Amino acid sequence: MTDYFIKKIINSLIIIFLTLQGIIYFLNQKPLTENFSQKKITVENFSTIVLSNSGITKIGSEKLNKIDDDNIYLEGESHLENKEYKIYGRNISINLSKEISSSDEYVEIINRMGLLKAQGFQNLDYDGKIFFKGKVEFVISK
């Protein structure tokens, strides 16, 4: 009779321990999921390489904000760089699927011709065209 009760208690304790372990596991998983989601939305001091039809483009920024699967926003000092140019600006929007980047803020571009300064830009990378807005000064290297 005593053995029967001891077995019952042991079984109950095993069930309680397993339940507690399950709860602990569940609680540990929850915060990890939240952190992972946050990293997908905003990343600071970000730098990466994007491979597109126009080649490899290096992207760097103080803060990267992911808007959706196609759109990212480079907040603060940011740069885009490929074999044709280096663009240094602030607050740059990028549409990855359309290969378009743009900004309405002061920008500097270095290419093989020289140094260009403008008040904003729209880069149609797939088309090989960059539109510089406002007053533009392009100093040509010797």
User: Interface residues with other proteins (CB under 8 A)?
Assistant: 84, 111-113, 116, 118, 127-142
Q: Which is nearer to other proteins, 75 or 84 (CB)?
A: 84
The residue among 99, 106, 112 whose CA lies nearest residue 133 is: 106
- Give min distance, CB of 142 to other proteins, in A: 8
| Cα gap 108→131, rounded to integer Å | 13
How many C-beta atoms lie closer than 10 Å to residue 140's C-beta?
8
Token pair recorded at residue 33? 């999921």
Q: Which is nearer to other proteins, 40 or 129 (CB)?
A: 129
| Cα gap 38→4, rounded to integer Å | 52
**Residues 116/131, Cβ–Cβ less than 8 Å:** no
Q: Which is nearer to other proteins, 95 or 119 (CB)?
A: 119
- Give min distance, CB of 115 to other proteins, in A: 10
| Cα gap 95→100, rounded to integer Å | 5
Q: Which is nearer to other proteins, 14 or 113 (CB)?
A: 113
- Give min distance, CB of 85 to other proteins, in A: 8
- Give min distance, CB of 122 to other proteins, in A: 10
